[in-house]
Chains A and B, each alone.
Chain A
């Protein structure tokens, strides 16, 4: 079948839009090739393909497939610590993010100049928080309150607040404001509107996002120990530095299994919620 026979001819694209498309494609290609050349230049190829590399791979890889179960007790203990860090941090964030969510939702802040300014400041604050990776936040807290799981909890809590505050704000912005109008029209006051019109609309989404964030936090908190903020990360570093690859192997297996279980439970609960 000839498409031209069925459909009307395509509208002709202007020279300007064509040159824009091709120009951008060429630019992208140039940047790609340039960066690839730059990287290749820096690699010491004779070292990569030396006997030394092969010997290293031969020593490490097989060990990774032979986990040492002697340390299982210790690994599980630290894994639970990791989960507690993630859970406490997520819980703190889920609560801290609620007021921030309301403050960043345009439809809750009214049209007054003060409302708009507060709204903009809170958005800026959340954006600023989100630019910090958890590991950097953990570094700050370890430096200020010393190496302990609590430093990890704070890092997770602050990092998650950045994301949850933004998501909560977006949930609130998408609620059905006609419901709010209807409640206003039958004489309800602001607090009653909050409890009867707004909260029923947002609770399932809020919970769903909080659980999703917990899922991310479990993964994030596994590496916090690398800089001494508690959890299983501490053991990863120690085992790696002692070249105990069989221990590293066990730790990886435990992390993979735990994260998979948490992901599945979280997906199951969230499907039920919304």
Chain B
């Protein structure tokens, strides 16, 4: 469970990125955060693994105030909170398996990780994670030889290898084309369902938010301006959140039906 109690964050340049946020996210929820760029979506989710540190308030992850953690405790927290980025952030010159096993770094002794001495279980876990996103045949490929969607799937596998309780995804589909976007979202949703991992995704495409989210949180100017189940949301809700008319570039388009068949032909 994640609990924001009156959390605020002011950046050194004076930007008020979060203003008195009060929010509770339950274990296993699939939450999509929407809002224009600069609304504070990234800051909100990056607070959970302390890539940014809120300046006031209390942020509880599993009843532990993470704003008070020391460096070592912070690393322990981060092993349990996986993160997926817009640009997947893989080491391009390293192989897929080397990138995926990096998910175990937080659990592995420094010397062993440098010498590449991973236990059988860890390697099995890494390979199984690749299988779950259907990319196990690329295990020894250099990651710069993969397409954008494949790289994002590898980064999902890296996060799965962490065996996290929470997955944070910061604009995971913003640089992908529509069919690939749906594929990536489908995997995230499936992982969320199968492993009961709390998943928080930043998106700005309203159709994808409505399609995949259990719960939608709308942000504007560092405040939460909407919070409710996805079923309650329609286009006018988004117009309220965005504070303007919906435009073509707010919609990703493409269908899931077609994608799911091509992702997993056996289904």
Asked if residues B106 and A187 are in contact (CB atoms below 8 Å), the reply is: yes
Given A178-B89, A182-B83, A200-B93, A187–B102 Cβ distance below 8 Å? no
Q: Which residues of A contact B90 (CB under 8 A)?
A: 179, 182
User: In whole angstroms, what is the CA distance A189 to B102 when docked?
Assistant: 11
Q: What residue of chain A has the Cβ atom nearest to residue B108's Cβ? A: A192
Asked if residues B89 and A176 are in contact (CB atoms below 8 Å), the reply is: yes
Q: What residue of chain B has the Cβ atom nearest to residue A203's Cβ? A: B93
In the assembled complex, the CB of A142 is this many whole angstroms from the nearest CB of chain B, namely 42
Chain A 163-192 interface 0/1 with B at a Cβ cutoff of 8 Å (1 = within): 000000000000010110111111111011
Asked if residues B106 and A181 are in contact (CB atoms below 8 Å), the reply is: no
User: In whole angstroms, what is the CA distance A172 to B125 when docked?
Assistant: 32
Asked if residues B93 and A204 are in contact (CB atoms below 8 Å), the reply is: yes
- Indicate which residue in A178, A186, A201 contacts B102 across the interface (CB closer than 8 Å): A186
Identify which of residues 184-223 in chain A touch chain B, using a CB-to-CB cut-off of 8 Å: 184-189, 191-192, 195-197, 200-201, 204
Asked if residues A195 and B51 are in contact (CB atoms below 8 Å), the reply is: no
In the assembled complex, the CB of B52 is this many whole angstroms from the nearest CB of chain A, namely 11
- Indicate which residue in A178, A186, A201 contacts B105 across the interface (CB closer than 8 Å): A186
In the assembled complex, the CB of B201 is this many whole angstroms from the nearest CB of chain A, namely 15
Asked if residues A186 and B91 are in contact (CB atoms below 8 Å), the reply is: no
- Indicate which residue in A182, A187, A196, A200 contacts B85 across the interface (CB closer than 8 Å): A182
User: In whole angstroms, what is the CA distance A192 to B98 when docked?
Assistant: 13
By CB atoms of chain B within 10 A, which of A178, A182, A195 has the most? A182
Q: Which residues of B contact A183 (CB under 8 A)?
A: 102, 105
Chain B residues bordering chain A, tally (CB within 8 A)? 32
Asked if residues A186 and B83 are in contact (CB atoms below 8 Å), the reply is: yes
Given A188-B106, A196-B105, A178–B113 Cβ distance below 8 Å? no
Give the dominant DSSP class at A's interface: helix
In the assembled complex, the CB of A254 is this many whole angstroms from the nearest CB of chain B, namely 39
Given A178-B87, A196-B102, A187–B75 Cβ distance below 8 Å? yes
Q: Counting CB contacts under 8 A, is B158 at the interface?
A: yes
Q: Counting CB contacts under 8 A, is B103 at the interface?
A: yes
Identify which of residues 92-128 in chain B touch chain A, using a CB-to-CB cut-off of 8 Å: 92-94, 98, 102-103, 105-108, 110, 113-114
Asked if residues A186 and B106 are in contact (CB atoms below 8 Å), the reply is: yes
Q: Counting CB contacts under 8 A, is B49 at the interface?
A: yes
Asked if residues A188 and B105 are in contact (CB atoms below 8 Å), the reply is: yes
Q: Counting CB contacts under 8 A, is B16 at the interface?
A: no
Given A184-B51, A187-B105, A196–B91 Cβ distance below 8 Å? yes
- Indicate which residue in B76, B87, B155 contacts A187 across the interface (CB closer than 8 Å): B76
Asked if residues A195 and B113 are in contact (CB atoms below 8 Å), the reply is: yes
- Indicate which residue in A187, A191, A200 contacts B94 across the interface (CB closer than 8 Å): A200
In the assembled complex, the CB of B43 is this many whole angstroms from the nearest CB of chain A, namely 14
Q: What residue of chain B has the Cβ atom nearest to residue A198's Cβ? A: B91
Q: Which residues of B contact A197 (CB under 8 A)?
A: 91
Q: Which residues of B contact A191 (CB under 8 A)?
A: 110, 114
- Indicate which residue in A176, A185, A192, A196 contacts B83 across the interface (CB closer than 8 Å): A185
Q: Counting CB contacts under 8 A, is B82 at the interface?
A: yes
Asked if residues B78 and A184 are in contact (CB atoms below 8 Å), the reply is: yes
Q: What residue of chain A has the Cβ atom nearest to residue B101's Cβ? A: A196
Chain B 59-78 interface 0/1 with A at a Cβ cutoff of 8 Å (1 = within): 00000000000000001111
Q: Counting CB contacts under 8 A, is B79 at the interface?
A: yes
Q: Which residues of A contact B98 (CB under 8 A)?
A: 196, 200
- Indicate which residue in A179, A185, A196, A201 contacts B51 across the interface (CB closer than 8 Å): A185
User: In whole angstroms, what is the CA distance A183 to B77 when docked?
Assistant: 13
- Having A176-B89, A182-B83, A185-B82, one finds 17 other A-B pairs with CB under 8 Å, namely A176-B92, A178-B85, A182-B89, A182-B90, A185-B51, A185-B83, A186-B79, A187-B77, A187-B78, A188-B106, A189-B110, A192-B110, A192-B113, A192-B114, A196-B91, A196-B102, A197-B91
Q: Which B residues are closer than 8 A to A by beta carbons?
A: 49, 51, 75-79, 81-83, 85, 87, 89-94, 98, 102-103, 105-108, 110, 113-114, 155, 158-159, 162
In the assembled complex, 21 residue pairs joining A and B whose CB atoms fall closer than 8 Å, in A order, are A178-B85, A181-B85, A182-B155, A183-B105, A184-B78, A185-B51, A185-B81, A186-B79, A186-B103, A186-B105, A186-B159, A187-B78, A187-B79, A187-B106, A187-B162, A188-B75, A192-B114, A195-B113, A196-B102, A196-B113, A200-B94
